[in-house]
Amino acid sequence: MGTGTAVPAFSYSQEELLEVFRIEDPRIRSVFLNSAIERRFLTLPPEGADGTRRMETQGELLAKHRASGIEMGARALQACLKNADADLEDVRYLCCVSSTGFMTPGFSALIIRELGLEHNTSRLDVVGMGCNAGLNGLAAVTGWAHAHPGQLAIMLCVEACSAAYVFDGTMRTSVVNSLFGDGAAAVAVQAGPGARHEGPSVVKFASCIIPEALEAMRYDWDDDHGKFSFFLDREVPYVVGANAEEVVGRLLAGTGLRRDDIAHWIIHSGGKKVIDSVMINLALSRWDVRHTTGVLRDYGNLSSGSFLFSYNRLIDEGVVAPGEHGVLMTMGPGSTIETALLRWPGGENARDGQRREL
């Protein structure tokens, strides 16, 4: 029905961040400057007495995750409702997705209190699933909407990635610090009689877990720093790319669709090498991934909500024709690739017999 996004107040170019953190190592500078990212929105650490950025304690990082997440999440949800022509009292189900911090209760309870949503709003928190979690959350939301025809469900991705930074001058942390940005994104879903069929239907989901790469992407405790720390293996782009064709094949199986029937590809902005690897393995063009690369350029990797920022850009273009199909693809820790098949309303299609209207 509608989507909404929000980011922190301040953004920084990669050159500005190198200056802020006084990074001189040429290898690390090269990682920042060759990331295909121009700007990212971040909540940076406070300045110390000498003008340098003070390193935050784990407690301060968790507090930032909570405060920044509530603020961004509330704005994204309100923007989503406005675009869906709905009100706060219409929300009957709220699924919040986040992996950049830990807290109990989760964002769903905090956002319900912050915005004054009805106290009987059903809720779910999806945590610890990383960048692919947006589609895990969307699967839960569409399932709930299908079981509650006409009622409004919201999925809200909240990622304060700057609350997951460790600065130690190593290549491991520098790769992470050069890539991720802060942001929140929400999508409204309705199903069945009474639904406003202004957006696409979710036809099908397909997943692919790669157990041998379970440790390739992880966010766990680092004893040396006394903080949680995110790790990306250098093989991640190739692992994801090598499995992309298989999961898309299973997504389209039984639909009567071929890959070249897909008009729109919304792929997670995981990083330059990840996008290139998926492009090559699925034989996609630069045009097919223009929104993915555009979001990476302007926001960095926004983790679970990245694909909704790209989806917003597709809708804003106004190029979607009735009856067209689109594929959503995200990837993250597990290692896992998640996909969903969309179909826009209109344009009678004989191969649409298995469509589940949402």
Which tens digit of pLDDT belongs to each residue from 47-69? 888 888 888 999 999 999 999 99
Q: Please give the share of the chain, as a percent, with pLDDT higher than 70.
A: 96
CB 268, CB 291: distance < 8 Å: no
The average pLDDT across 317-334 equals: 95
Give whole-number Cα distances, 319 to 139, 263, 309, in Å: 26, 10, 16
Of the candidates 10, 159, 185, the one whose C-alpha atom is nearest the C-alpha of residue 83 is 185
Give whole-number Cα distances, 33 to 27, 39, 99, in Å: 10, 11, 26
To the nearest whole number, what is the mean pLDDT of the chain?
A: 92
Kindly write down the DSSP assignment for every residue of 141-167, as one continuous string.
HHHHHHHSTT-EEEEEEEE-GGGG---
Give whole-number Cα distances, 127 to 99, 110, 214, 289, in Å: 5, 15, 17, 27
Q: What does the alpha-carbon distance between residue 201 and residue 142 come to, in Å, rounded to a whole number?
A: 10
Tell whether the model's pLDDT for residue 70 goes beyond 60: yes
- For the stretch 332-344, pLDDT in tens is 998 999 999 999 9
95 assigned to active site: no
pTM recorded for the entire structure: 0.93
The average pLDDT across 325-352 equals: 86
Between 353 and 79, the more confident residue is 79
Please tell me which residue in 80, 95, 96, 131 is annotated as part of the active site: 131
